[in-house]
């Protein structure tokens, strides 16, 4: 994700579509899951990497860095 975002910046690409997964919500307390559902710890490596990528995107959009 970081390489993709750096490449987008280098080539002046402003938008892309990121498709996440309901796996980032862990085991929800109620269904259906919405964007307002609290995020819990993912139960799989796939869900965890999706969540990590969402965090990277959030930090990038909000100007946070190391």
Q: Which residues are tagged catalytic?
A: 46
> Which residues touch 47 (CB under 8 Å, ≥6 apart)?
21, 23, 24, 26
**Any idea which residue has 């969402």 for tokens?**
54
Instruction: Please state the length of the chain.
Output: 66
């Amino acid at each position: 994700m970081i390489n993709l975002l750096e490449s987008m910046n280098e080539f002046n690409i402003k938008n892309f579509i990121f498709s996440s997964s309901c796996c980032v919500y862990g085991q929800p307390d109620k269904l259906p899951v919405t964007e307002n559902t609290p995020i819990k710890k993912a139960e799989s490596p796939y869900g965890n990497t999706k969540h990590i990528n969402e965090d990277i995107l959030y930090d990038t959009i909000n100007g946070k860095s190391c």
